[in-house]
Amino acid sequence: MELTNITGLRGEISVPGDKSISHRCVMFGSIAKGTTEIQHFLHGADCLATIGCFRRMGIEISCSAGTVTVYGKGLHGLTAPEEILDVGNSGTTTRLMAGILAGQSFDSKLSGDESLNSRPMSRIMEPLSKMGANISSILRNNCAPLYITKGTLSGIHYESPVASAQVKSCILLAGLYAEGRTSVTEPSLSRNHTELMLREFGADICSTHELDTTRATASIQPCKELYGQKITVPGDISSAAYFIAAGLLVPDSEILVKNTGINPTRAGILKVCEDMGGDITLLNERTQGGEKIADILVRTSSLHGITIDGDIIPTLIDEIPIIAIMAAAAEGTTIIRDAKELKVKETDRIETVTDNLKAMGCCATPTPDGMIIEGGRPLHGAYIHTLLDHRIAMAFSIAALIADGNTKILDSHCVDVSYPGFYEAFESLL
Ligand code: S3P
């Protein structure tokens, strides 16, 4: 994809359904009794991988006229897959599904693409093994492909060293199949879609926050059945983030991003935009299926650098690439700390973000747990090496809109992982 600078992005846009929530609807619907009807499902490659895996385990899932219907077979209704489960590029599919597979009475193998198969899985293998699961890394490198065989699970209390919703959700899902209570404490609260949605499906699940620290605990009791639900997936704030940034950065712009999820465990980007001096207003705030939603109005603004660290990091971890672009355009220095997790995303995003920023003429320095960006220098066009990371492709597409000259986004088709139609969506705002 080749892009150049523009002015005047104006109009309304609705972004596709939230990726995290779309995955969970299919997974929980598959192990619930009765049908789950999903509106505004994200038909991105990652969520389609989740659908493919559950179909392989005997679940009928239909996609028609804007509705995805999952014909759930109950907590013990999955059947042994005949082939290896292909999780594609999706960490969420891998880690959450491993929690469900650990509780099954059949053996399974799961594997993904090169990026997925190099991401750390010891973070789920360790707690699942403590619960009595039999899970191993086939190549003995603590990565997928994973092999999971029948085990008898017991509830544990797990102190997670990382604030990760994938780890927390994996353990809670295994907890549905365990003897006794299972709980997970994380150093600070990660996205809580699993807790909110499992409760809607009828699970006995609760969350607590320690008063004097930022630690958060979620606990679950095994239950007899979950029950199918009707769900409308909110627009994905991680996808909305590119239009929010475009609205703030491209001269003479005003964009309304409609029906976007603003769950506080996901909405750190909104605070960052405000702290950087962005003109951003939430309209029409409401709650749907336990999830907060709003329309987000953004107008072109002069931004300034800030420091981003501590508990806000898990609430904006996927938005750091686009925040880095805003920082490059802002006056002054932006420091991002406490974000070591960036190293184990689809790419090492500390490296992919700073390398590509440097290619565009920005002074960006990687640090062991984040980056330092000296903003305010004009950006120029460059070849962007996405390394097939969808968020790098989209973030640097926005950088291209404010850079002098042409920018070429290599392997830009990788946006399909979370946002098929990303480039077409811009045309409606021109
Ligand atoms: C996700 C959790 C986050 C996030 C990922 C989706 C989820 O990962 O980066 O894109 O749906 O639970 P971690 O849990 O590893 O932080």
Looking at residue 289, what is its pLDDT? 84
CB count within 10 Å of CB 66 equals 9
Looking at residue 127, what is its pLDDT? 98
165 lines ligand 1 (CB under 6 A): yes
Average pLDDT over residues 399-414: 98
In DSSP notation, 144-175 reads SSEEEE----B--EEE-SS--HHHHHHHHHHH
In DSSP notation, 378-407 reads PPB--EE--TT-HHHHHHHHHHHHTSBS-E
Task: Report whether 294 contacts 284 (CB < 8 A).
Answer: yes
Ligand 1 atom closest to the CA of 238, numbered from 1: 10
Q: Which helix (H) or strand (E) holds 308?
A: strand 307-308
Span 33-44, pLDDT tens digits: 999 999 999 999
**Cα 38 to ligand 1 centre (Å):** 21
Span 51-78, pLDDT tens digits: 999 999 999 999 987 899 999 999 999 9
Question: Which ranges of 14-145 would DSSP assign to H, the alpha helix?
Answer: 19-30, 45-56, 91-101, 122-130
- Options 318, 338, 411, 416, the catalytic residue: 318
CA 17, CA 149: separation in Å to the nearest integer? 33
**Cα 164 to ligand 1 centre (Å):** 6
Looking at residue 339, what is its pLDDT? 98
CA 109, CA 84: separation in Å to the nearest integer? 5
Ligand 1 atom closest to the CA of 164, numbered from 1: 14
Question: At a CB cut-off of 8 Å and minimum separation 6, what does 110 contact?
Answer: 53, 84, 85, 86, 87, 94, 97, 98, 101, 144, 145, 146, 148
Ramachandran category for residue 88: left, alpha or beta (phi over 0 → left; psi -120 to 50 → alpha): left
List C-alpha distances in Å: 194 to 8, 86, 115, 205, 208: 39, 22, 25, 10, 14
Nearest CA residue ID for atom 5, ligand 1: 92
- Known catalytic membership, residue 279: no
Q: Which helix (H) or strand (E) holds 239?
A: helix 237-249
Nearest CA residue ID for atom 15, ligand 1: 164
**Cα 163 to ligand 1 centre (Å):** 10
Q: Is the pTM of this model over 0.95?
A: yes
Span 155-190, pLDDT tens digits: 999 999 999 999 999 999 999 999 999 999 999 999
pLDDT at 267 over 90: yes
20 lines ligand 1 (CB under 6 A): yes
**Cα 340 to ligand 1 centre (Å):** 14
Ligand 1 atom closest to the CA of 96, numbered from 1: 12
Span 137-153, pLDDT tens digits: 999 999 999 999 989 99
Look up residue 346 and give its two tokens: 């689809």
The mean pLDDT of the chain is 97
